[in-house]
Structure 1
Amino acid sequence: MTGRVRTVAGDVAAGDLGRVDYHEHLFQVTPLLPGDELDDESAAAAEAAELRESGFEAMIDATPLGLGRDVPALARVAAATGLRIVSATGAHRESHYRADHPLVALNEADLARRFTKDLRSRSGIVKAGIDYWKITRFSRRVLAAAASAHAEVSAPVMVHLEHGSAAHEVLDVLEADGVSADAVVLAHIDRNPDAVLHAELAARGAFLGYDGFARHREHPDSVVLDCLERAAHLGAENRLLVGGDVARRSRYRAYGGLPGLRYLGLRVVPRLIAMVGEDLSDRVLRRNPARLLARF
């Protein structure tokens, strides 16, 4: 693996990244989740330490601008735990922001400048988001601004797909703006566990973010793992990533909830290895995320 990955503690060689949890949130405050704020640095450090102890050496903190993102605190957590943390810039889907939030009023050029400034500093990925089968005018501005920042800095782009919807459509928009699909990770694609669709998206070059574990009200972990295995057999093996996306105070052990960030390492990874073997597991956990992130 070649190239370097931008973390909150500085750039690291892609080959030194280790196992990567591609999607978590150590800090997040959003009006969509009242009472589930992640806003305590000591709790963030405790969860990060448990993730590290469960076998992960790195993670992407996928909280973008305006939602409690705290890069200096992420750097302190990284220093305290030894976990390599890649911070996101960008903006989420519009419903995560109050109507009077200043970020919502920014035009494409202003958004692009904010994203690019972060990527030149301590952020290693730019994030956008869409609603369920809907790309709003705000989301379209964010996608265009993310594309502009990518053109300046070559950073990868993460897109939140609500319930896994509109994946091809998002790739079409980004490709029209100059972002190759192989620089894009489609977050929550497993919320639509359609392995044939996933293989199609991988054939276009996109990375596929499987992060719906421990959501048993929707489906058991076996659905996500079975979909991942089938997608791999259909040709997506070099595009698969896994994450936890725990994202809520009520689901953090450090705040008194369950299952915590360690669930991915303790419960999911052993099943993944038993199901698909060491080589494919190493691609999913180490080699694929390193290739996505090694853009600097």
Structure 2
Amino acid sequence: MTAAAEAHHATGATITVHLEMGTGALDVLDLLCGKSGVPPHRVVLGHLNRSPDLVVHRQAAEYGCYLAFDGPSLAHHATDWRMPEAVRALADAGFGDRVLLGADTTTAAARSVDGGPGMPCLLRRVRPRLAHAVGEELVERILTENPGRAFGTEWR
């Protein structure tokens, strides 16, 4: 984390954090944003779908970081069906602009159009379910505007 913070301070690049099982979000934010001085809007916390703790999600969003629900295409994850509820809770609390989606595609097969499940699943299966929960307008922003802000270049 210290090296990531130093790299951020040298480059301005966004720091993305792999939270194993979606836990430790607040500790990571205390370290990166508190101790190391990284602006919260330059931090993305990943795998929050794996820990459907809506209180922690909201507390992390209150920091100002981005929350990535980036594993919903893996059908064997028992928490995937809760992801729309978590996104709706964040949106209802005014944090829809802090949400990111992804497919955690770490293998070539998962990234391929004909492979599975990856991005095709995210767009064909997850997007409609999420749109049903929070509306198409917010889903469109989550897929376009939010990542643009999260990963956009900041000039000093």
Place the TM-score, normalised by the shorter chain, in its bin: 0.7 to 0.9
Cα deviation 1:256-278 (Å, max 9, x = unaligned):
85324311111111222232113
Partner of 2:141: 283
1:182 aligned onto 2:34 = no
- Name the CA shift for 1:169/1:221 in 2 (closer, same or farther; >3 Å): closer
After TM superposition, the structure 1 = structure 2 runs for residues 79-158 of structure 1, keeping only pairs within 5 Å, are: 143-158=1-16
- Name the CA shift for 1:253/1:154 in 2 (closer, same or farther; >3 Å): closer
Partners of 1:248 and 1:294 in 2: how far apart?
25
**Structure 1 unaligned regions, length at least 5:** 1-142
Cα deviation 1:154-184 (Å, max 9, x = unaligned):
1111010000111111111112112021110
- Whichever of the two has the greater Rg, that structure is 1
Aligned-pair distance for 1:220? 5.8
**Structure 2 unaligned regions, length at least 5:** none
Partner of 2:30: 172
Assess if the C-alpha contact under 8 Å between 1:214 and 1:220 holds in 2: no
Partners of 2:101 and 2:112 in 1: how far apart?
20
Partner of 2:18: 160
Partner of 1:216: 75
2:125 aligned counterpart, secondary structure: helix
TM-score norm. by structure 1 comes to 0.48
TM-score norm. by structure 2 comes to 0.87
Aligned-pair distance for 1:253? 5.1
1:208 aligned counterpart, secondary structure: strand
Aligned pair count reads 153
Cα deviation 1:126-172 (Å, max 9, x = unaligned):
xxxxxxxxxxxxxxxxx112111211221111010000111111111
Partners of 1:152 and 1:189 in 2: how far apart?
27
- Name the CA shift for 1:260/1:294 in 2 (closer, same or farther; >3 Å): closer
1:239 corresponds, among 94, 98, 114, to 98
1:232 aligned counterpart, secondary structure: helix
Aligned-pair distance for 1:247? 1.6
Aligned-pair distance for 1:246? 2.5
1:206 aligned onto 2:65 = yes
Q: Greater helix share, 1 or 2?
A: 2
Aligned-pair distance for 1:221? 3.6
Partners of 2:31 and 2:63 in 1: how far apart?
13
Partners of 1:251 and 1:157 in 2: how far apart?
23
Aligned-pair distance for 1:282? 2.4
| One-letter code aligned to 1:173 | L
1:248 corresponds, among 91, 97, 107, to 107
- Name the CA shift for 1:152/1:272 in 2 (closer, same or farther; >3 Å): same
1:196 aligned onto 2:55 = yes
2:94 aligned counterpart, secondary structure: helix
- Name the CA shift for 1:162/1:278 in 2 (closer, same or farther; >3 Å): same
| One-letter code aligned to 1:193 | P
